[in-house]
Amino acid sequence: MSEKSELIRQNEYIERLKQIVTDLSNKKGHAPTFAVITFGCQMNARDSEKLIGILEKAGFMNNGENEKSDFVLYNTCTVRDNANQKVYGRLGVLNGHKKKNPDMKIALCGCMMQEPSVIEKIRKSYPFVDLVFGTHNIFKFAELLVRMYESKGLIVDIWKDTDQIVEDLPVKRKYPFKSGINIMFGCNNFCSYCIVPYVRGRERSREPKDIIREIETLVADGVVEVMLLGQNVNSYGKNLENPISFAELLKEVEKIEGLRRIRFMTSHPKDLSDDLIEVMKHSKKICRHLHLPLQSGSSRILAQMNRRYTKEQYIALAKKIREEIPDIALTTDIIIGFPGETAEDVDETIDVIRQVQYDNAFTFIYSKRTGTPAAAMENQVDEAFAHEQFDRVLKVVQDTARERVSLLEGRIMEVLVEELNPHDDDLVTGRLSNNILVHFPGDSTLIGQILKVRLKECRGFYYYGERV
Ligand code: SAH
Ligand code: SF4
Ligand code: F3S
């Protein structure tokens, strides 16, 4: 079916859903409430905005993350096992709520649902779940909801992969002033530890004209900052009928009037081109931040991880970026405890952290993911050893980041104000171009504005500041 006619079909289901919502409202005396709870990365967060868009369009009432709602949806992540465990834990609690509210419906979607073993477990141990779908068919959400309300028993609809990209379904943004934009879906890299290519499918890029049109619409609706999303944005556009590079796409996005800031996630070091560095260097809108996942500083481990760069190549790349764009902040992801990793390998990782001087780094203990090549490796690392190494790395990350971030003390920089400080109502929280957070005195009227602040006091990864 063509993607246009699929859109028409789904809009018809939204209309049918509206009738179901009306019937439920008449029965209960109020519109049915919903909660969408999101685990995982920005991709999932963006998917949730699409799911919420459909629910609100159909007339459901947004109840935040209140799990005592008439409809609860978990959008799950499976990148590490602790993400899965959280979902199972919370499902147990949900069952209690459902016993008290017999009209309640429970649905699960997202990356975890793409694993057959998970589906088996839900069928067996969580029979109170009503609907399960995966990452490839979220555009069918309205249709699936209609089926759920019109039938009894668990509905499972999981696709192995898809080449369809359905445009123009409703979306409800979490922030009025900033938005994620999918520029591509899936991943073809198969890093040996990673489950994402198995649960998100093969790499597919959106047409540049669709991306530009979406951003233009967002800007007209008040968005000043966009984040272009893909598992490996540096390989964007290679497989389109009319190939275009990520650097070229950025140049087009830059031209959009009214757009103030451009971010993107994530860059794989192996595909980061000189053109991209050049475009970033001359851009007035691309933020001074690059997230460049290292994973390991040991060339031996990197080869086992199938990352396709060496320690030396990574350091040379980071150095080139810092030379060309001196005020850029570099952040990274690091995995500790990959099969066969020794203390010497971790020393190499620490050496890279010291040389590159990251502004922030996310460190993860390796988690064995069923079906990935690394899960079948025989030399899995002892957990206690991995935790020791993790602590060692974390200490260096914190020390170098503090040193690096504190270099900005006293400077005056622009922040985009994002929210009231959750711990102190007299403060607002904003983000610098380089992604560092700043808390400063202000009220909710400032949210969404780009303002100048003086960076007064560095607190490790963030600042206290004042408006100037
Ligand atoms: N596409 C992005 C990252 C996706 S997952 C990239 O390539 O950088 C986000 C991070 O989770 C990864 O960078 C990696 O550090 C971590 N990660 C992925 N699989 C993992 C696993 N099995 N165990 C621990 N951390 C993992
Ligand atoms: Fe996973 Fe590697 Fe793809 Fe990132 S690039 S999503 S780490 S396989
Ligand atoms: Fe998790 Fe899926 Fe993102 S596994 S990290 S939510 S792509």
Using an 8 Å Cβ cutoff, are 90 and 74 in contact?
Answer: yes
CA distance 287 to 223: 15
Query: How confident is the model over 193-216, as pLDDT tens digits?
Result: 999 999 999 999 999 999 999 999
Task: Sort 299 into a burial class: Cβ within 10 Å, 0-12 / 13-18 / 19+.
Answer: middle
Segment 216-230 shows an average pLDDT of 98
Tokens 């067996």 correspond to: 124
Segment 394-410 shows an average pLDDT of 95
Q: Which of 18-25's residues contact partners 24+ apart within 8 Å by CB, and which partners?
A: 18/58, 18/59, 20/58, 20/145, 20/146, 20/149, 20/150, 21/58, 21/59, 21/60, 22/59, 24/70, 24/103, 25/59
Using an 8 Å Cβ cutoff, are 395 and 204 in contact?
Answer: no
Of 85, 111, 266, best ligand 3 pocket probe by most atoms within 8 Å of the beta carbon: 111
CA distance 298 to 11: 51
Which residues form ligand 1's pocket by a CB distance below 6 Å?
79-80, 193-194, 196, 231-232, 266, 268, 293, 295, 333, 335, 364, 366-367, 369
Paired sense of beta strands 450-458 and 462-467, if any: antiparallel
Prediction pTM value: 0.95
CA distance 298 to 346: 7
Confidence of residue 166 (pLDDT cuts 50, 70, 90): confident
In sequence order, the 6+-apart residues with CB closer than 8 A to the CB of 5 are none
Please name every residue paired with 109 in a beta bridge, in sequence order, or none if there are none.
75
Query: Cα-flanking dihedrals φ and ψ of residue 289, to 5°?
Result: -150, 135
Query: How confident is the model over 269-296, as pLDDT tens digits?
Result: 999 999 999 999 999 999 999 999 999 9
CA distance 79 to 324: 33
CA distance 241 to 333: 33
How far apart are the CA of 56 and the centre of ligand 1, in A?
32
How far apart are the CA of 164 and the centre of ligand 2, in A?
21
Query: How confident is the model over 41-74, as pLDDT tens digits?
Result: 999 999 999 999 999 999 999 999 999 999 999 9
Exposure on the CB side of residue 63, measured as CA atoms within 13 A: 16
